[in-house]
Every structure is written in C-alpha cells, then in structure tokens.
Structure 1
C-alpha cells in the first residue's frame, strides 16, 4: 500500500514551507519514498473521518498498510526508522539524532510558536506588545545555546540526520521575525538544510499545492 499524507487544502502559509506537512514531505524525499497527498479543508479537519486519524483535528497524518500516525515528529521518526538515510547506523549516534529531534520540538519550537501566536493570533490583545520582547529574549536564549553547540560544524552531530531535519524545520519559522539573522551560524545552518535537493523537492510540492 502506498504512503498517503494529509496537508492543508489551502495552506495558511501560502506555500512558504512552514506547514508541518513539509517536514514529512522532506523526510520522504530524503529516503526516496513515493507518497500521495490528500488535501484536507479546515472544515474536514474537524469532521469524524479525519479526527479518527488525528484526534486533535490537525495535519499532517500518515497512513500506510493499516498504520495511521499523527504528529509530524512521530511520523518523521517512523520514516527514519523504516528507511536508510535519516538515522545513523550506530546505536549511540542514532540515539543522539533522535535526541535532537526531541530538542527541536520540545525545547526550541515552543517559544517560537509562542511568538507566532502572539503576533498573528493575539496581536490585537492589550498585553501583546509588552509580551513580545520577553518572548524574543526567550528565543534568543535558545538560539544562543544552539549556536554554541553547533559551533562551526555543518550539522548537529556528524552527518545530516532526522535531528537536523526537524531543527531546520523549526528554525525556518523564525525567518520573518529577523531573529535568526542575529545568529549567522544558525542562519547558515538553515540555508544548508534548504539547499538539500530533498528539501527543494518537498518545498516545491508544498508551494505548488498552496497555489491551487
């Protein structure tokens, strides 16, 4: 059975590669697995058929041979575990790569998402302008720590892995804010991720879908 993922029928990001289906597309492109995409409208996302796969009514989802998954991190981890190309062969290196996946989602992404919410969802609230500098400082702390750990290396732990895929995907959300530019090594790190042919294919597919 072929792999089927879901994506926004009309992506809020307008095809900028920020929707979470791009992470899954990228992972599948890296490991050379073909896949089909089922566009889902905002209304359909909250209907029983979709929520039977994703209980929180979001995207992406992943279905293959009776397996149904939700959460982009879990999906990418499954793909990486099933196919060569995203996790090292060595047990220790593999564990470290998975650790970086969790770090991207659990440590680096939360304050970035807080910034997105404050700007675009709560922008009209009276407390927003006072909160924005505080959120930005929390993000800078994480970026400073991540930049120190990366140093002058190309990737977080040896060769490119699923950890880098998730981290780059998370950091891309910062580009409109200008915060990423304050850390040249991280900006270059993200650019290396974007330059990968697999990312280029995933981005192009998401952008094409958004323009329909």
Structure 2
C-alpha cells in the first residue's frame, strides 16, 4: 500500500528541515519505505477534507490504506514498531527508546516552542523583554540535564533509535537561537543525526519542494 504524507505547500522555514513533516520523512527513509507527499496550503489545512485527517488543522498526516494518523510522535512510533531499524529488539531497550521519544516531545520541546512564541508572536508585547530570558533559562536547564545524560556517547541509549530521531529533530529548532551552540556535546549529537544518509534524503526532499518556489516579495 502506498504511504501518503502531507506537508506544507510552502514551509514557513523555507525548507530548512524544521517543519514537522521532516521527522516523518526521516523515519520513512530510515526504515526504507517509499512514500508520496501531498502538499497543502494554509487555507486547505483548515478545510473539512484535511480536518478529517488532522482535527487540529496541522501537518503532517500519514495515510496507508485504511490507516490515517496525525501527530509526528504517533506516526514515527507506528513506523518504528512496524519496521526494523528504529527500535531495538531487546524489550527493555525498546521501552527506553520509546521513553526518549516521549521525553523529546513532552519535556524538551515545549520550552523550545515557547521560545518561538516569545520571539515571533509576543515579541512586541511590553513584557516580552522580561519574559524572554526566563524562557531561555528554562531551555538551558533542560539542555544541561540532557547533556549530562548523553555524556560522551554517540546516542542516548546505545545504538541510534527513534528516540534519537525525535530528540535531534526537536533540538534542531534551537539552532537559529544560538543556544544549542552553548552545549558542544549536544551540537555534535545533532550533527551526527544530520549526517545520517536517511536524514540527508529527508532534508533534500523537503528542500526540493520549497526551493522550487520563488520567495515572496
């Protein structure tokens, strides 16, 4: 059955790999599954046809036969559980890898997303200058904890897993802020993820969509 995912017709980041469809593309590349991409505009994301796939009007979505999924964590977990390559065979190691997926999405990503909101959606508010350093401090606290756990290891728990895929994807969103560079071990960890051939193919696929469209203005 053909796998179809949705992605932005025009990604807000210009195809730099920060849109969440990159995570799904990367997982599909890691497990060796071909897929098709249906591009949707911001207007189409709010229409009934897309809302039937994603009730919150976002991307990506995943369709395979009668199965339709939304939320990158759920999609990547489904792929990891259905195909070899993203989860260890050992049951305990498998459970730990899944725990790291949840940690990436539930513990590390929220303050990073809060930084995006603080800078770009609330930056003109009178209290923004006071709030921004607090948000950045919360991020640094999480990164200190993560860096301590990673130590000198290449990956979070032995071999590369879906937990690393999600964590690297989350940390990539920090690069424009410069905060990631304050943690050389984590910056190197992210670079290892980006160097994986599967990530390179996923990035190229998203970049091709956006590079083909002229910049506005």
For the superposition of Structure 1 and Structure 2, which TM-score range results when normalised by the shorter chain?
A: over 0.9
- Report the counterpart of residue 30 of structure 1 in structure 2: 30
How does 1:1-212 map onto structure 2 within 5 Å?
1-212=1-212
Q: Deviations over 1:171-201 (max 9, x none)?
A: 0000011100110000000000000000000
- Say which SS state the counterpart of residue 63 (structure 2) adopts: strand
| TM-score (normalizing by structure 1) | 0.99
| Alpha-carbon distance in structure 2 between the residues aligned to 1:7 and 1:126 | 35
- Report how many residues are paired: 212
Distance 2:93 2:148 in 1: 20
In structure 1, stretches of 5+ residues that fail to align are none
Runs of 4+ in 1 over 6 A off after TM superposition: none
C-alpha deviation, 1:68, in angstroms: 0.2
SS at match of 1:68: strand
Distance 1:102 1:119 in 2: 25
- Deviation per residue, 1:115-136 (Å, 9 max, x gap): 0111111111111111110000
After superposition, give the CA deviation of every residue in 1:122-152 in whole Å (9 maximum; x if it has no partner): 1111111111100000000000000000000
5+ residue gaps, structure 2: 213-217
Q: Post-superposition shift, 1:69?
A: 0.1
